[in-house]
């Protein structure tokens, strides 16, 4: 088995754990990273990792360390050729390199945007492209990207759009290449269910984060299980715990940094960012990032009030989906029937009634301000209505309830 693992700065944490797991089973590992200089916050170098891989190999696996900037096509090509010359080919590619900045659009310099896109997206695509010809000649070839399921919930974009785009780029490489090379090369993604104790996590959560984490061993064991499967097992976005449960693992305390302590769910799965920050703080961590406070403008305040008054009676009375096209805002959808509010460009279902008006008139209409209503309760400013007029008139009941709530 020939195992090629590119990293950004150095091999550490998750990437190192996966490489050493493979080496212990006799794999020859190729470690590619940007620098061999020790990092003040990251232990070891690519050379010490390579030595550890050779010393720890139960079947005498060998290691090759290459200094490579994975954004540089020539350097990647040279590293791949060195690997092929030394070991005769490549069977497995693990794309682990990643750069992170959990910052909003206005707070993220373009230098960091370029860095994340260059490493996470371009680096993954480029390395895969350069290794693919050799994988096609390999024995049961695999590509495994350390990337997340494609969760399109907007909460995972709004606070760090650039990082999410870059990281999802790695996942989209899985989506496309798995189908492109189906039957020839297995291409999958792996993501942890909980936070993993690494130097990067320590920087994000502070000293108190470790006890809420699992060790890198769980990722290494899950990766090993995936890479041991047939090349026909492809196109999957996998979570480490689920993979190991399928393997019959039941005791997950063995992976906990502090067995029995509550674990922190990882990003991009079920818990919203605000929930993760709260959980981190509850157990003594000091998150280096915090989602910005929600906007408190008139549109948002109106929706907060709408949520407070929608009940079964309103749902039964209206039974409709209303879309408001507001000047200066994205389209706003109100669905009392399902008790759901939608905002943004997405169109989950077709609206029964479409109302176009100024943003200020939207708040006035639901607040019941003097002069905001005509006899039918719907004439506000330059309101234009399309769709089911019967349902449009039924909206008056909700407006009346809002007025009584004294928005």
**Catalytic site positions:** 163
**Residue 23, token pair as written in the block:** 């080496």
Angle at 193 between CA 191 and CA 197, to 5 degrees: 85
Q: To 10 degrees, what angle do helices 298-309 and 389-404 make?
A: 90
**Residue 54, token pair as written in the block:** 């050779």
Count of all residues that appear for the chain in the document: 407
Pairing of strands 353-358, 340-343: unpaired
Pairing of strands 63-67, 92-95: unpaired
Residues 54 and 347: their CA atoms lie apart, in Å, by 55
Distance of CA 298 to the CA centre of its chain: 31
- Dihedral sign for Cα 21, 26, 32, 37, please: positive
Q: How far is CA 199 from CA 202, 203, 207, 234, 242, in A?
A: 5, 6, 10, 31, 25
Residues 144 and 170: their CA atoms lie apart, in Å, by 10
**Residue at token pair 């922190």:** 264
Give 325's strand partners: 356
Whether 325 and 387 have beta carbons less than 8 Å apart is answered as: no
DSSP 8-state symbol, 238: E
Closest by alpha carbon to 334, among 370, 361, 366? 366
């Amino acid at each position: 088995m020939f195992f090629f693992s590119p990293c950004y700065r150095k091999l550490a944490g998750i990437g190192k754990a996966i490489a050493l797991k493979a080496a212990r089973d006799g794999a020859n590992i190729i470690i590619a990273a940007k620098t061999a200089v020790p990092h003040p916050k990251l232990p070891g170098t690519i050379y010490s990792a390579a030595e550890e891989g050779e010393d720890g190999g139960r079947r005498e696996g060998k290691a090759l360390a290459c200094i490579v900037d994975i954004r540089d096509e020539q350097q990647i090509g040279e590293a791949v050729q060195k690997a092929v010359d030394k070991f005769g080919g490549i069977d497995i590619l693990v794309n682990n390199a990643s750069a992170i900045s959990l910052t909003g659009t206005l707070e993220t310099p373009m230098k960091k945007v370029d860095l994340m896109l260059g490493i996470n997206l371009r680096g993954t695509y480029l390395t895969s492209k350069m290794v693919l010809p050799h994988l096609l000649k390999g024995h049961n070839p695999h590509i495994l990207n350390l990337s997340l399921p494609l969760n399109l919930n907007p909460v995972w974009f709004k606070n760090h759009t650039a990082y999410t785009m870059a990281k999802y780029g790695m996942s989209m490489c899985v989506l496309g290449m798995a189908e492109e090379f189906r039957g020839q090369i297995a291409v999958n993604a792996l993501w942890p269910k909980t936070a993993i104790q690494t130097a990067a996590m320590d920087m994000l959560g502070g000293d108190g984060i470790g006890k809420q984490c699992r060790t890198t061993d769980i990722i290494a064991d899950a990766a090993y299980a995936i890479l041991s499967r047939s090349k026909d097992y492809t196109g999957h976005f996998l979570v480490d715990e689920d993979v190991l449960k399928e393997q019959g693992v039941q005791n997950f305390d063995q992976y906990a940094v502090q067995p029995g302590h509550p674990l922190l769910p990882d990003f991009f799965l079920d818990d919203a960012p605000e929930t993760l920050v709260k959980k981190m703080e509850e157990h003594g961590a000091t998150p280096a990032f915090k989602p910005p406070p929600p906007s408190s403008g008139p549109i948002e305040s109106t929706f907060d009030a709408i949520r407070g008054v929608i009940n079964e009676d309103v749902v039964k009375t209206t039974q409709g989906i209303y879309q408001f096209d507001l000047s200066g805002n994205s389209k706003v959808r109100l669905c009392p029937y399902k008790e759901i509010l939608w905002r943004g460009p997405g169109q989950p279902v077709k609206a029964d009634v479409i109302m176009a008006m100024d943003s200020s008139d939207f708040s006035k209409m639901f607040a019941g301000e003097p002069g905001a209503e005509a006899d039918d309760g719907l004439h506000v400013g330059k309101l234009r209505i399309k769709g089911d007029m019967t349902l449009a008139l039924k909206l008056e009941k909700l407006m009346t309830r809002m007025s009584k709530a004294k928005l």
